[in-house]
Amino acid sequence: MSLQEVSNWGNYPKMEAEVKTFSEVSEAEAYLSGTKVPVIPRGNGRCYGDASLEEHILSTLRYDKLLEFDREQGILECQSGITLDQVLEVVVPSGWFVPVTPGTKFITVGGAIASDVHGKNHHAEGCFADHVLEMDVLTGTGELITCGPSFQQELFEATRGGMGLTGLITRVHFKLKPVRSSYIYQKQIKARNLDEAFDLFQEYKDYTYSVSWIDCFQTGKDLGRSILMVGEHAELEELSASQKRDPLKVHDKRLLTMPVYLPGMALNPLSIRSFNFLYYLKNTKKLQEGTVDYNGFFYPLDAILEWNKMYGRKGFVQYQFVLPMETSRKGLEDILNRINAKGLGSFLAVLKLFGKQDNLISFPMEGYTLALDFPVRDGLFPFLDELDKVVHDLGGRLYLSKDARMSKEAFLQGYPRAEEFIRLVKKYNPQNTYNSIQAKRLGITT
């Protein structure tokens, strides 16, 4: 194997690594038993920081077969390297949809569990792993263990959201959700400021899907002006005549590819401010509604392949935090004001509502989560340290799947069951067979 430059979606950090692929579990077992160096499992590299980075990487991308699909019950069995995009191509024509999806369909099922991804429906339907019936994990002890929410529960809980540190997820069995069409009936509602945005989230909380885009450059009475988007899978009677001709159509909108890295100066406060201004004004009415295909609602950025290049060669970090319900409004106001004062407005700022969740190491807790993209530049990380303190003082935490620079102390403070998680990692991975740059930085495997 030769060295290749590897990074996750944020293109920060980058490192050289040996990447091993496999198409049978026996190949992975032979590789792990023969190598004497730490390895990290990796799917499609769509986490943002350094969670799936190590000098030796075990890629699941060739382990991507669909094993069984029960079209009557909506239950899918697959290998962990299959992507949600590939899953949708098979299940949508039969009237099923993935139970939870993040903002890209180009993640693997194994990665969805390792990050325990959430979507626009967390307040109603939880995380991806809440829909997993069972999975096989090749642990650091060399055992292939089948675990699920009601058996081998300890391993299951430490693996969902565990960033690949208990073992290699191989086979997954999970539930899908029934749909009548591949379209979403959506409403978009403009909010004049943060107070109105919170009020709208509560007013529309019965919708299965909700998400809000925030204009980070507004201040004063306009602080937090935004557009709330809510939606439901459309019923047949809500479709247009042309949509009714193929209501379960698989949609593909990969139209463009970002050909090169943009210069670092392309995304500057002026260009981001201009984008935010125009995006808010594109909706001319307070309320707009209509039916869109699932790509337009769930995966708008997937239409531009390699869109991460627009942040330049230095890359970017996505800073995503969650705050408890009782401190969310105060915390968001504080953080948006600090971003404004620093002149660091984010090109993408996405606010979502989380429902109740109290798993071992999964990110969500009941409250609000905000994701912000910042190009890597001088002075950014000290500023994010400042935001970390705000988040933790208000009882919140950062998302491991987006993290590239959190301190060990911040990790331990944000995740109250972190010590229990570390104990379980040591139980199932006693020799640190599985390790990552992030795990070492956070003190999980040291």
Q: Is the pLDDT of residue 313 over 90?
A: no
| pLDDT single digits (tens) 192-249 | 999 999 999 999 999 999 999 998 888 899 999 999 999 999 999 999 999 999 999 9
- What is the DSSP pairing of strand 183-191 with strand 287-293? antiparallel
Residues 6+ apart with CB under 8 A from 239: 181, 183, 247, 291
Q: Using 50, 70 and 90 to split pLDDT, how confident is the model at 284? A: confident
> What mean pLDDT value characterizes the chain?
93
| pLDDT single digits (tens) 370-392 | 999 999 989 999 999 999 999 99
Q: Which residues of 283-304 are buried (b: 16+ CB within 10 A; e: fewer)?
A: eeeeeeeebbbbbebbbeebeb
Q: Using 50, 70 and 90 to split pLDDT, how confident is the model at 258? A: low
Q: How far is CA 2 from CA 17, 18, 19, in A?
A: 8, 6, 8
| pLDDT single digits (tens) 335-375 | 999 998 988 777 778 999 999 998 999 999 999 999 999 99
Q: Using 50, 70 and 90 to split pLDDT, how confident is the model at 309? A: confident
Residue 282 has what pLDDT?
79
Q: Is the pLDDT of residue 22 over 90?
A: yes
- Per cent of the chain over pLDDT 70 is 95
| pLDDT single digits (tens) 99-157 | 999 999 999 999 999 999 999 999 999 999 999 999 999 999 999 999 999 999 999 99
Q: Cis peptide leading into 13, omega within 30 of 0? A: yes
Q: Is the pLDDT of residue 60 over 80?
A: yes
- Distance CA(401)–CA(412), nearest Å, equals 16
Residue 264 has what pLDDT?
62
| pLDDT single digits (tens) 408-432 | 999 999 999 999 999 999 999 999 9
- Classified as helix, coil or strand, 11 is coil
Q: Return the structure tokens found at 422.
A: 């570390």
Residue 260 has what pLDDT?
62
Q: How far is CA 168 from CA 63, 70, 150, 227, 395, in A?
A: 12, 25, 20, 40, 32
Judge contact between 170 and 25, C-beta under 8 A.
Answer: yes
Q: Is the pLDDT of residue 266 over 80?
A: no
Judge contact between 292 and 184, C-beta under 8 A.
Answer: yes
